[in-house]
Structure 1
Amino acid sequence: MESAGKVDAWWRRWLRLGGRPDEADAAAERARRLRVLLDAARAGFPVAPAAHAVDFTCSCDRVGCPAPAQHPLSFAWQSQATTDFDQITRWLVRDPDANAITPTGRVHDVLDVPTEAGRLALERLAEAGVAAGPVAALGEDRWFFFTTTRSPLDEDEWWTSELDSHPDEAADEHPGLRWHTRGSYVLLPPSRLADGSEVTWVRGPDHPLPDPLRLLDVLTDACAEVGAPALGEQWLIR
């Protein structure tokens, strides 16, 4: 991982030349964050820069931002997203605090469930011998199960995360679960939320992506068992 290695070498050399420890710690943290992002890019996850938290609010200029530190920086995020190491490194060097998103429906989809349901589902998948694939935790609130993306042939059977559900009865069938497909995105580790928590990997991006249908029933049952409510509409930057 050449870009991350260059950052590591830079801050170690800088410290030897007399840099302050607190600044060295900050440089080491930047290198760690870059390594995590490049690991995702190496696994094929396209990455785009996102807003970050500033004093429990959002770095964007939107007054009363409804999704602080949880949305892309640019309206062109879908075309901007890339797996290019150099481009990702430039973004993070320019804005070391930037979060990162990955668009869904291109390489992967994401099944998004409450944390309690995610833990329960992961245990049951392991007991059944079903590989869950990459899983990320959005602070203490949600878990993201990354899966292969849908086929256009299945268009009528799936719904995007821009709506609570489509068709209308889907919310009753899948309470608390949101399926991120085309036109949506999720935060990637090591993004930080406005409350100070971080997006982290429960299972890393190097795990093979599973078929979403192998996980759906288990996740749905887990959501129902923990009493997860149906979700309201998710805000997406336009």
Structure 2
Amino acid sequence: MGDDFGRYRGTESRIPQWLRRRPKKNAGDSAFGEGDAAGREALLFAVADAGMPISPAAHPVGYRCSCDRIGCPTPARHPLSFAWQTQSTTDRPQIERWARNQPEANFITATGMVHDVLDVPLEAGGSALERLLERGIDVGPVADSGGDRMLFFTATRGTPEDEDEWWPCELDCHPETMDEHPGLRWHCRGSYVLVPPARLPGELSVRWLRGPEHPLPDPLTLLETLTDACARYAGENGELDPHAVAWPLGR
């Protein structure tokens, strides 16, 4: 695994340049940097059309969160409702109502129903994405999440008849966990991620690198390359055991 990684490190890659690019803001741009309100709705509809259910989330107010929780640990990254799992929908009229009645709101997508998300450090994700594309492997939607994480959207494993066959809980990501982690987080049932266009404190954003028009791949086709990239990233950044942190260390 990863025997050919070295030959890419000495070559000039277009993907890091791609990741560093930030969309230019025009005078008519909305706060989301994605054009006007219609453009925002179009991006949300595209997520819904791909079958990924969404619901409203908090948004930044300066460096704070729009919620009323003092010292919110996940500012602008959490749903507005505790019922987000049942509230999440692909229904266009409902999404349109939310978007127009809450023009500043971010949106989350509930994972584990139609899709999962493999969440990795941005640097590791960039190198993995380059390798996957060069090998001709089908990669689905990919998002830059706040300039430090990369989200790979995949099909879900579904809910097996034998619950014992489900992935061990140590592989799942708690959505409220915001501690820095060099490894891969697997968002499946009971979790969520922000979807573009989303704003974060400090003028950061969540934006598509590959849009939701790309079909969702089987997560296992990406897993080896992503875990290898995470292990190498951890090793290069001084982690004691780079292979141990390819997965989350626990809940």
- Report the count of equivalent residues: 204
Extract unaligned runs of 5+ from structure 1: 1-21, 165-173
1:130-175, Cα deviation, whole Å (9 max, x unpaired)? 01111111021101001111233331456321299xxxxxxxxx95
1:180 aligns with 2:180: no
Q: Name the residue aligned to 1:192.
A: 199
- What is the CA–CA distance in structure 2 between the aligned matches of 1:232 and 1:101, rounded to whole Å? 24
Instruction: Select which of 68, 82, 90 maps to 1:83.
Output: 90
- Contact 2:59 2:200 (8 Å CA) reproduced: yes
- Which amino acid in 2 is paired with 1:65? C
1:167-194, Cα deviation, whole Å (9 max, x unpaired)? xxxxxxx951000010000000001011
1:10-30, Cα deviation, whole Å (9 max, x unpaired)? xxxxxxxxxxxx7x6559522
1:155 aligns with 2:162: no
- What is the CA–CA distance in structure 2 between the aligned matches of 1:120 and 1:26, rounded to whole Å? 32
- Which amino acid in 2 is paired with 1:97? E
Q: Percent identity?
A: 56
- Which amino acid in 2 is paired with 1:151? G
- Which amino acid in 1 is paired with 2:188? T
Q: Where in structure 2 are the equivalents of 1:138-149 lying within 5 Å?
A: 138-149=145-156
| Paired residue secondary structure (2:67) | coil
Displacement of 1:45 after TM fit? 1.1
- What is the CA–CA distance in structure 2 between the aligned matches of 1:215 and 1:232, rounded to whole Å? 20
- Contact 2:56 2:98 (8 Å CA) reproduced: yes
Extract unaligned runs of 5+ from structure 2: 1-26, 240-244
- Contact 1:192 1:198 (8 Å CA) reproduced: yes
Instruction: Select which of 119, 133, 156 maps to 1:112.
Output: 119
1:47-88, Cα deviation, whole Å (9 max, x unpaired)? 100000001110001110000000000000011111111111
Instruction: Select which of 28, 39, 57 maps to 2:46.
Output: 39
- RMSD over equivalenced CA pairs, Å: 2.5
- What is the CA–CA distance in structure 1 between the aligned matches of 2:175 and 2:61, rounded to whole Å? 29
- What is the CA–CA distance in structure 1 between the aligned matches of 2:249 and 2:221, rounded to whole Å? 25
1:57 aligns with 2:64: yes
- What is the CA–CA distance in structure 2 between the aligned matches of 1:217 and 1:209, rounded to whole Å? 17
- Which amino acid in 2 is paired with 1:100? F
| Paired residue secondary structure (2:109) | strand
- Which amino acid in 2 is paired with 1:56? Y
- What is the CA–CA distance in structure 2 between the aligned matches of 1:156 and 1:101, rounded to whole Å? 23
Structure 1 residues 115 and 149, CA, compared in 2 at 3 Å: closer, same or farther? Answer: same
More helix by share: 1
- Contact 1:163 1:233 (8 Å CA) reproduced: no
Q: Name the residue aligned to 2:22.
A: none
- Which amino acid in 2 is paired with 1:219? L
1:29 aligns with 2:36: yes
